[in-house]
Structures are given as C-alpha cells and as structure tokens.
A and B are shown apart, each in its own frame.
Chain A
Amino acid sequence: MFLIRQALRWFKQPDSPEPLAVLRIGVSLFCLLSLWVVRKSLLDIYGQYGFVQWAITRGTLPVVLPHLGNVSLLLGRLGLSANQSVYILLGVYAVSLILLLAGVATHWTATLAWCLHLLLMYAGAGLLYGMDYFTHIALFYCIIMPVGDALSIPVALGWRTSKFSISAGVTRKMLQLQMCIIYGSSGLEKASGIQWWNGEAIWRALTLPVFHRFDVSWIAFVPSLAAVAGWSVLAIECGYSVMMWSGHTRVLWFCLVIAMHFGIGLFMGMWLFALIMIVMNVGAFGYDVWKDCCAWRYKAQTEYIPVAA
C-alpha cells in the first residue's frame, strides 16, 4: 500500500509545460516535413488509385471505422472528385499542424490533426511502417498533454499563463512509460532471436539492397564488430527502461539512443523514422537530461570556487 501511495505521489507531481511545448513543436514540424518529403507522391500513397487502392484498405478496416473513401463520398456531393478530396484533407491537415505549431487551441488542433492523420493512415495502409505508427502516437500525446501552456502564441500574448501543472507531470510520465515499454519490448523481442547476438542482424540490415547506402561488405571479415554492434543495440534498448530513470546514467543513455537513431538514419536511409524517434525521446526525457546537465555544471562550478582566506 505504501509503495502504491508513493508511486501515485510520484505520478501526480506537477511538472513544467516547457518539455511538452518542445514535443508539440517537434511533432508538428516533423509532420509538416514528412508531408513535404512525399509531396510528389501524395496520390500514390493516399489516392483512390494509389499503389494500394482504397477498395483494399477499406476492406481490411472494421466497418465502424471511417475511411478517406467515406469522406470523399460526402465531399463528392459538393462536386469534388476523389483526388480533390485527398488534397482538401491534406490541406486541412497542414493547417491544423501549423496551428498546433503556434500553440493555438492545442487540444482541438491536435485532435483534428490526429483524426486526419488516422484517415490518411487508413487510406495509405499498404505503405505504413514504424514512422507512421510513432507519429500517430506522438499526436495522441499532443491531444492529452497541455502542450500549449508554454512557447506558444497565446502565452506570448498573455492570453494563457505558463505554469507547472499536475496534468503536465502525469502526461509526460505516461509518455516516458510508453517509451520505456516500446524500447524494452523491442529489445527483448530482438534478444529472443540469434541474429542480434551473432551480429547477423546488423550484417543483414546493412546489406539488404533497399537499405544499402555504403559498401560495408568488409564487416563480413570482421564478424566480431557486427556482433558487438548487435549487443550494443540490445543493451541500449533493454537498458532504456532502467537507465533513463537514474540521474547518473540518463545523459549517457539518452546520447546512446540518439546516436543509435542517427545511425539508423545514416546507414539505412530511414531519416524520418530516426527523426520522429529523436523527437519523442527529446519530448519524454530531454528536459530531465537538460536538468541533469545543469546540475552537473553547477556542481562542477561550485566545487572549484576558491575558498576565501
């Protein structure tokens, strides 16, 4: 009972809204960037006759859930074609992201962006991968978090005050717990196979034609290096859930995770996936890492102050 009470007290501690604002800015900029990156392929991903057509993506979806095709049918009554409907929804999505970036009515704009992102995900379901899932999760947290309580236009204009709140603390801890579960489960799943222990996973990931960026065939002649890289990934992912909670190890682990995602971007060309993971890590633990660094700096300064004679 004592432990539960302590856990609840920890969970309900008020927290600064600034890390949440950083997450809001990062997520909205990321979503706008990801739209820009695929601007030449929008209809190929989300269109009625894209690479995977609506008839298929609608068919695999539970009947109770909406699809871009349903919205297109409604807009069709106004004389709009399916392609025009896609562009209109993408336009509204971009506007909602810009409003979210500015911090205007964040619960509403984040909800709108999340709903439209869901419709876009369903329409382009055949081409989804981890980046899309994590973007959706990040937008979900923007709905429930008080992300507009700092670094926003309403705060700058004095319409809203930037203050510590219980909801900021609770929701950021939820995101932190979710990140720990994601990395912990991913690490354990990887550890259950042999490929991450003997380095074959690293070898295969770097030599698969789709991810082939640099000639790393020499790794086959230094298999121990691939094995060490595999163990490092396992250690970083499995250790995340523990190491990120201690002030002694958090900065190191945070840097290792960021370096791992940077490596995924550089060596596999999955830059958007790497970027959303970095944004989520910064939103979840960046503020604590910053506080740890400030505390170290303060400690280092006070330790070397010469004592007056």
Chain B
Amino acid sequence: MSFLSPQRDKTVRGHHYGVQRMTTFLVSVGISLHFAMILFVVFHLDDRMVKKPAWRPVVSLSSLYSTVTFANRNFGFFAPSVTPDWNLQITAVNDSGHRWRYSLRTPSREMQVKMYSMLGHFAEDNDTMDLFARSWAVHAMNDEPMIIRVDIDVTRNSIPSMSDYRNGKRTRPEPFYSTTFDAK
C-alpha cells in the first residue's frame, strides 16, 4: 500500500523507472567498453592504431585499462612458439678477493617459476637488462654487506629440435648477458 498521493506515487515510480533505465544504459555501456577493450588487444588493433596519431588517445586508454584491470592483455602464453629459458649466475667478491657463487633464494617451486618469468621480463630489451642486473647486484650487496663486487652472467639454454636430439645434440647454455657492478 502506498502512502503517497496517486499523483506523487506516479511521479516517484516514473523517477525510479528513469533511474533504472539510466543504470541499465550505463551498465550496458560499461560492459560494451570492457569487451571492446579486450577485443581491441586480442585482435592486435592497438599495434596498428599506435602508428596513426588520431588513434593514439584510444591506444593510451586501452593501455591504462590493461595496466589496471589486466583484463585486456594478449593471452597467448607459449604462443606462437615456446621461447628458451635462461640461467642466472651471480658471482660475489669480497674485499680480500674471495669469490663465491651467490644465489637468489627460490625455496619453493612457485619461486622457481617466478624466477623464469623474471628472466623472461629481463630479456625483453637492453634497458630492462641493465636495470634488472643492477637490481640483483643491489639485492646481493644488501643481503651480504661484505660483497664489494658482483659479476652477473646470464646464459640462454639452446634447446635442440627433436630431430637434432635424435642426432645427438643436447641442451646447452649460450652466453646472453654479462656485466659487473662495484660498490663505491
């Protein structure tokens, strides 16, 4: 039972209907934009649009949406091919010249998988390599303050194809990156 006058009741119901319609409209726009952003990246339209200045704001918006929601990313893991993995070797040196192997701690299987991902991010470009290498060196020096120098060597595992394996080839590490950091 309504306590409002019939005229007022009608106005309130009309108002609620208007709010409901507006909410439905906004939700529909939100859902459409969400999927538009996803399809935009999945079909690699962003790669083409970034070359055209008029479309750059759209690309920036999509990139920001991806950075926040991670919903519109390229989901092709191990696609189109499986990239090789990497080995990280950190050699620490103290002020008396003693050298030893320093390892980033990976106490669980999950940390080993994360290490693999980290080396994958490391290998993305040259600037990233230097930044990551510096980060590992600082991590080692913070962890063991007697370290005055850190040598970093990253090798990439060359995986033979199945036919090469049958012919005797085996997985072997190839030099990929090498650098040295000194504490001042």
Contact = CB atoms under 8 A, between A and B. Distances in A.
A207 B139 contact: no
Q: Interface range on chain B: under 10, 10 to 19, 20 to 34, or 35 or more?
A: 35 or more
Interface string A174-186: 1001100110011
Contacts of B29: none
A204 B76 contact: no
A195 interface: yes
Interface string B111-136: 11111111011100000000110011
Contacts of B82: 195, 200-201, 204-205, 208
Contact of A136 (B69, B84, B117, B142): B69
B60 to A, nearest CB: 9
A88 interface: no
A40 interface: yes
A196 to B, nearest CB: 7
Q: Is the interface of B mostly helix, strand, loop or mixed?
A: helix
A207 B157 CA distance: 10
Contacts of B110: 34, 37-38, 271-272
B111 A189 contact: no
B78 A190 contact: yes
A56 B171 contact: no
A125 to B, nearest CB: 8
Interface in B22-69: 27, 31, 34-35, 38-39, 42, 64, 67-69
A14 interface: no
A290 interface: no
Interface stretch (B9-17, B100-108, B174-182): B100-108
A150 interface: no
A129 B85 CA distance: 14
Interface stretch (A45-53, A97-105, A254-262, A298-306): A45-53
B4 interface: no
A186 B75 contact: yes
Given A53-B135, A133-B70, A220 B76 contact: no
Nearest to B38: A181
A146 interface: no
Contact of B77 (A140, A186, A195, A203): A186
B165 A217 contact: yes
B74 interface: yes
B94 interface: no
Contacts of A190: 76, 78-80
Nearest to A206: B82
A44 interface: yes
Given A126-B135, A226-B162, A270 B113 contact: yes
A208 B85 contact: yes
B138 interface: yes
Interface string A255-288: 0000000000000011111000000000000000
A61 B174 CA distance: 32
Contacts of A195: 80-82
A182 B38 CA distance: 9
Nearest to B143: A49
B184 interface: no
Contacts of A189: 74-76, 79-80
Given A129-B117, A185-B75, A193 B80 contact: yes
Contacts of A199: 162
A222 B115 CA distance: 31
17 contacts: A38-B114, A41-B106, A49-B142, A51-B104, A51-B139, A52-B118, A129-B114, A132-B70, A133-B73, A136-B70, A177-B35, A190-B78, A190-B80, A200-B82, A204-B159, A210-B85, A271-B109
Given A200-B81, A203-B161, 20 more contacts: A41-B108, A51-B139, A52-B121, A53-B138, A59-B131, A126-B118, A126-B132, A170-B27, A182-B75, A185-B75, A189-B75, A190-B79, A192-B79, A192-B80, A194-B81, A210-B85, A217-B165, A226-B162, A272-B110, A272-B113
Q: What 10 A-B pairs are tightest by C-beta distance, nearest first? A: A193-B80, A189-B76, A189-B79, A129-B117, A220-B165, A204-B82, A127-B114, A190-B79, A220-B162, A195-B81
